[in-house]
Structure 1
Amino acid sequence: MTARRPANIAGTAATAGATLSVRPVALTNLLESITGPEDVKRLDAHGVITLAEQIRSFLIDSVCRTGGHLGPNLGVVEVSIALHRVFDSPHDVILWDTGHQAYVHKLLTGRRASFDRLRQRDGLSGYPSRAESDHDVIENSHASTALSYADGLAKAFSLRGMAERAVVAVVGDGALTGGMCWEALNNIGGAPHRPVIVVVNDNGRSYDPTIGGLAVHLADLRDRAPGTSTEPSIFTDLGLAYVGPVDGHDEAAVESALRAARGLHRPVIVHCITRKGAGYPPAERHEADRMHAIAAGSPGAATAAPAQTWTDVFGQEIVRIAADRPDVVAITAAMLRPVGLGDFAAAFPDRVFDVGIAEQHAVTSAAGLALGGMHPVLAIYATFLNRAFDQALMDVALHRLGVTFVLDRAGITGDDGPSHNGMWDLSLLQLLPGVQIAAPRDAANLRRALREAVDVHDGPTVIRFPKSAVGPAVTEIASVGGVDVLSARPRPVVLIVSVGALAATCLALGDALARRGVAATVVDPRWVYPVNHALKDLAAAHEVVVTVEDNNTIGGVGAGIAQFLRQNGVDTPVREFGIPPRFQPTAKRADLLASLDLSADALAPRVMAELAGCLTSRQRPRGAIGQTRFPKARAASS
């Protein structure tokens, strides 16, 4: 039994909603026989259709078990097959933007057997991976980069006399909202002698629906007759030829368009109309994200109620704050629901701004909002804020503007691989003059920190939290100058400074040291930068300071505390525990933290060794040991 071939719909909006059927395949499993692109090229038209159906069936079964980006890949099945039938990868370079739509490409380049460990330790990456295959040229999990890579590759091939090598970039319409794409198109279109083929995978959305004038323009282009068009468009005005619109689920039509584009020998746009989640009814019906990414386990299976996440807490509290503060507005870079702003958008639709995949613009737009008398809250994944450091520095901090950055998925995230771990924010953002950075340890402190942050109007504030369940409350027993004391024992020797969500680990570390006969005090500064002056006296009263953070050890909270103590004449040594300065492999968050020895059992012997070295080199005992007294704790965290 073979799949019904979709009609050639020429990309019209009306017929693009037709349903692709996915049925059990009774024929020989072609997918198992695909070891590389040459096998794909040998198929006849009937075999291509059968292969497309088998790929969809395989992805639905496999990704629903392992978790991963299902919707984007169901949408590019025919496009991926056509690319590997027209071009000779890796001699011809095929780039994917963003890389989460490359699963079909991985199947066609011989990696089917590895899908049972998708996005797991020592398994298959959820993005292109140079370590996996020569067919993966770049590792681009951050959007809007492929066209710049393509421009550079085309220049290199031209300079080296290798102009016969094609350069193809598959770009989602959502990625086209990023500024880098237009910087690259400006160069690509201005060099008609250097052919670059840009395949626009137009499904009307990145995570959420694509927004802005570009989305309107692409919608207008969909209504044109298919073919190579000279009618004016934003692309032709930039110097690129335009081929399309083409039904992205008609492999023969896509293949014909790609061959025509290659024959033009100039920069060209191939406009493919696709449907995210195509061929899988649950995805087709899911209006929010077309099953952009799913967790492990088949959708619809009975599961326990999910635990409350940090994102949930933020999303609930920002709505409460906005109800009292009409000046509070929210900004997202194409990730409204993933960063917890769905309820905010429902309650205050005129006060939430989705700027597309444009982090740099998001930050400077926030600066403009602040200049205009609003207090913007920019909710963004921690790893994506790296792209807008200059804007945070020169457009927000330099102007001393009250902008609150809420960094979701800070620290180790794991599943999405090395690029998505938010392990640089504490190091980078301490460089912003006037910045205040909070790392809440529990839900109550996240709510409290968020309210404190939006009350700051003369400089940037930052709140960061991980991708995980929020965990139980961690209540302080006392407070010293704004530093929360979480645990204290008589005659303390070690001061443990906990950063954010690692509070439970630090308390367990205190217990582990106590079992070894070493007393420790565990504190949480809450606002980790600037360094709280109360830490000066606390550090002086202990033999060693230990910091534990979910961030790069270079320039992190521990490094900042060590520098602060040196500048204030406190010679208590500081030992920083965190993430080493190297990219981390794909694995679960808990597994990665364990592999980094950021567990109490692993930290305790390391602290003991550090303490032994400090005591043998110490010239004088700490006179204040055992004399530390803490004021009564305040009633409760709000």
Structure 2
Amino acid sequence: HQSYTHKMLTGRGARISTLRTKGGLSGFPNRRESPYDPFTSGHSSASISAALGLAKAKELSGEKGHVVAVIGDGALTGGLAYEGLNNAGRFKKKFIVVLNDNKMSISRNVGSMARYLARIRTEPSYFRIKGRVEGALDHIPLIGAPLHHGLTSAKSLLKQILYNSTFFEDMGFYYYGPFDGHDLDKLIEVFHNVKSIDHPVLLHVLTKKGKGYPFAEQNPGAFHGTSGFDVQTGKAAPSGQTFSGVFGDCLCRLAESDGRICAVTAAMKSGTGLVRFAQKFPKRFFDTGIAEEHAVTFCGGLAAGGMLPVFAVYSTFLQRGYDQMIHDVALQRVKVVLAVDHAGIVGEDGETHQGIFDAAYLNTIPGVKVFSPSYYDELQQCLRQALYHTPGFAAVRYPRGAQLFRPCDFRLSGRPFDLYGGAEATVAVVTYGRLFSFACLARLRLEKRGISLRIVKLNRIKPVDDGAVRSAAGAERVFFFEEGIRQGGVGERFGFLLSQSGFRGRFYLHAIEGFVAHATMAESLNGLGLDDAGMERAILTECGAQ
């Protein structure tokens, strides 16, 4: 998110109005967009490791130049940052890390590092010594005032004397700062000085998140990654009800009657709908910072101790906790529920944030049960089922934003799958999540062309229910539409089970083959052939109009 100004300064200013739109500029640094973006990034805490690799490559190839890693203080809650710092401190070559310290990540920073940085910013011993020295100087006749004035310009030196054993220096860095990150002249001077140092350097700068725009300064969390809004008022259009909000409200209701329920987030309290839970149950709410690996294992520990932890996390960020899901939850055979938000296509955030991998990687973990509701009431039903009627590890995955079209005759069943439409139809569509809405719309359109569909809606995508396979196997042609990666996904698994059942018809799998660039969700789904128009087109291509 901190690359917009960088993009304008590196030849992309004329295209800044295309930011986060189809065919326009990415919202993040992107190697394919510009030679001035050396590394594509969208996930936190990775800059030090990536920059160290670039610096080492320069050294090995004999290339001149400097490599500078910029990392926010919020990103220092992520373990990868410390792995990078630990390795970089032994580099003993020119390498600069800029710590952009604005006391904010997506949600307010938490943990020991946040407190440590606060101490560096406002160390009482510094101000106590400074006050005593200034007071003594003011009482010296004639020369006291000039000496007092000279002390002002020596503040940074005094701080460096006081902090000659900072955490960063213990990691092998020369530490300089903190400096005012909005004082351009001072920063230019500092960079000019430190770039000649043949040793890893950490430059600590203090900035104000949203600087220059009052609404963002007053509410930095809301403006971290905002969509369109009125510049004059700072207000965005009301978003209405969302899956995240429904999840948060449901979890609050369940927690009122069950003191074992705990909510865990990785610096995404607002984004995952947990603000109200945090207010109502502060002792059972845990924000781990941007530390998904720790969050998963922490949930494993809570569960081993008899609690019912629910980890609310975006699909794209859950990827970081894959080993922990296997070793620290599934292998322990403990009750942990993942609330996998932003599952599927997410739109303008683009390829670094698409939630298209979770169904595939969860598919590989023994024992986990995965639910994928299409509607709000179904989400609540699945959450209760995951908490109280599913032994061991469970996940409930749901998309970004609001629910889509719902047939008026569709009713919740609570079963692992639902059969919707003509049971005698020779064409079957199998899908799950919000794609069910598009399948229903495609069914209405195809009926006008003389093609009837049976729709097999998977409510539980792992394990796939045998009854769902039998329901599809009765058709001559089976189309599986999946808003996820094809390789290892639910569709591939379903196709295998279908073949094992003795099915002799035709099976067509339509899923995502690669990374998906930024665009609106509607544009992305249409381009992938996963909306109602795409489904209709795919079925007509194989079946023809009758």
Q: CA deviation at 1:473?
A: 4.5
Paired residue secondary structure (2:156): coil
Corresponding residue of 1:441: 374
Which 10-residue stretch deviates more, 254-263 or 123-132? 254-263
Residue of 515, 518, 523 corresponding to 2:456: 523
Cα offsets for 1:118-152 (capped at 9, x unmatched): 11011111111222221110011101111101211
Q: Which amino acid aligns with 1:586?
A: H
Q: CA deviation at 1:539?
A: 2.1
Which 10-residue stretch deviates more, 164-173 or 507-516? 507-516
Corresponding residue of 1:166: 66
Query: What TM-score results when the alignment is normalised by the length of structure 2?
Result: 0.89
Cα offsets for 1:370-419 (capped at 9, x unmatched): 11111111111101111111111122111122111111111111201111
CA distance in 2, matches of 1:217, 1:142: 23
Corresponding residue of 2:187: 254
Corresponding residue of 1:414: 347
Q: CA deviation at 1:420?
A: 0.7
CA distance in 2, matches of 1:532, 1:384: 28
Q: CA deviation at 1:322?
A: 1.0
Residue of 119, 141, 147 corresponding to 2:42: 141
CA distance in 2, matches of 1:303, 1:153: 39
CA distance in 1, matches of 2:235, 2:85: 47
Distance 1:573 1:480, change over 3 A: farther
Residue of 128, 132, 139 corresponding to 2:29: 128
Paired residue secondary structure (1:109): helix
Corresponding residue of 1:117: 18
Corresponding residue of 1:600: 532
CA distance in 2, matches of 1:442, 1:233: 51
Q: Where does the alignment leave 5 or more consecutive residues of structure 1 unmatched?
A: 1-99, 613-638
Paired residue secondary structure (1:445): helix
Cα offsets for 1:174-203 (capped at 9, x unmatched): 1111111101111111222x2210000000
CA contact (8 A) 2:229 2:237 kept: no
- Verify: 1:103 aligned to 2:7, yes or no: no
- Verify: 1:586 aligned to 2:518, yes or no: yes
Q: CA deviation at 1:573?
A: 3.5
Q: Which amino acid aligns with 2:114?
A: A
CA distance in 2, matches of 1:211, 1:241: 25
Which 10-residue stretch deviates more, 174-183 or 549-558? 549-558
- Verify: 1:213 aligned to 2:112, yes or no: yes
CA distance in 2, matches of 1:528, 1:252: 57
Corresponding residue of 2:418: 484
Q: CA deviation at 1:479?
A: 5.6
Q: CA deviation at 1:210?
A: 1.1
Q: Which amino acid aligns with 1:511?
A: L
CA contact (8 A) 2:229 2:236 kept: no
Distance 1:291 1:305, change over 3 A: closer
Cα offsets for 1:150-175 (capped at 9, x unmatched): 2112222222223x421100100011
Residue of 273, 276, 297 corresponding to 2:209: 276
Cα offsets for 1:507-527 (capped at 9, x unmatched): 112222222222211232211
Q: Which amino acid aligns with 2:283?
A: D
Q: Which amino acid aligns with 1:311?
A: S
Which 10-residue stretch deviates more, 226-235 or 517-526? 226-235
Q: CA deviation at 1:366?
A: 1.0
Paired residue secondary structure (2:99): strand
- Verify: 1:342 aligned to 2:275, yes or no: yes
CA distance in 1, matches of 2:412, 2:66: 66
Distance 1:596 1:564, change over 3 A: same
CA distance in 2, matches of 1:477, 1:417: 34
Paired residue secondary structure (2:45): coil
Corresponding residue of 2:432: 499
CA contact (8 A) 1:477 1:485 kept: no
CA contact (8 A) 1:283 1:290 kept: yes
Q: Which amino acid aligns with 1:421?
A: Q
The correspondence of residues 623-634 of structure 1 with structure 2, limited to 5 A, is none
Paired residue secondary structure (1:111): helix
Corresponding residue of 2:77: 177
Corresponding residue of 2:156: 226
Corresponding residue of 2:130: none
Cα offsets for 1:433-460 (capped at 9, x unmatched): 0111111011110010011111256422
CA distance in 2, matches of 1:103, 1:261: 25
CA distance in 1, matches of 2:59, 2:379: 53
Cα offsets for 1:1-60 (capped at 9, x unmatched): xxxxxxxxxxxxxxxxxxxxxxxxxxxxxxxxxxxxxxxxxxxxxxxxxxxxxxxxxxxx
Distance 1:369 1:519, change over 3 A: same
Corresponding residue of 2:135: none
Q: CA deviation at 1:259?
A: 2.0
CA contact (8 A) 1:442 1:472 kept: no
CA contact (8 A) 2:263 2:286 kept: yes
Paired residue secondary structure (1:264): coil
Q: CA deviation at 1:498?
A: 2.6
Aligned length, in residue pairs: 508
Corresponding residue of 2:316: 383
Corresponding residue of 1:311: 244
CA distance in 2, matches of 1:315, 1:231: 46
Q: CA deviation at 1:303?
A: 7.0
Distance 1:186 1:457, change over 3 A: farther
Q: Which amino acid aligns with 2:53?
A: G
Distance 1:301 1:360, change over 3 A: closer
CA distance in 2, matches of 1:460, 1:478: 23
Paired residue secondary structure (2:105): coil
CA distance in 2, matches of 1:169, 1:303: 33
CA contact (8 A) 2:230 2:236 kept: no
The correspondence of residues 318-357 of structure 1 with structure 2, limited to 5 A, is 318-357=251-290
Distance 1:482 1:358, change over 3 A: closer
Corresponding residue of 1:571: 504
Paired residue secondary structure (1:101): coil
Which 10-residue stretch deviates more, 352-361 or 601-610? 601-610
Corresponding residue of 2:52: 151
Q: Where does the alignment leave 5 or more consecutive residues of structure 2 unmatched?
A: 127-154
Q: CA deviation at 1:358?
A: 1.0
Distance 1:527 1:280, change over 3 A: same
Distance 1:466 1:281, change over 3 A: same
CA distance in 1, matches of 2:302, 2:288: 13
Paired residue secondary structure (2:42): coil
Corresponding residue of 1:196: 95
Cα offsets for 1:513-560 (capped at 9, x unmatched): 222222211232211110011123212321122222211122222112
Query: What TM-score results when the alignment is normalised by the length of structure 1?
Result: 0.76
Cα offsets for 1:474-520 (capped at 9, x unmatched): 5536969642233x236311122231111210111222222222221
Paired residue secondary structure (1:418): helix
CA distance in 2, matches of 1:304, 1:140: 28
- Verify: 1:298 aligned to 2:230, yes or no: yes
Identical residues among aligned pairs (%): 37
Q: Which amino acid aligns with 1:226?
A: S
CA contact (8 A) 2:68 2:96 kept: yes
CA distance in 1, matches of 2:240, 2:382: 21
Which 10-residue stretch deviates more, 153-162 or 260-269? 153-162
CA distance in 2, matches of 1:303, 1:371: 43
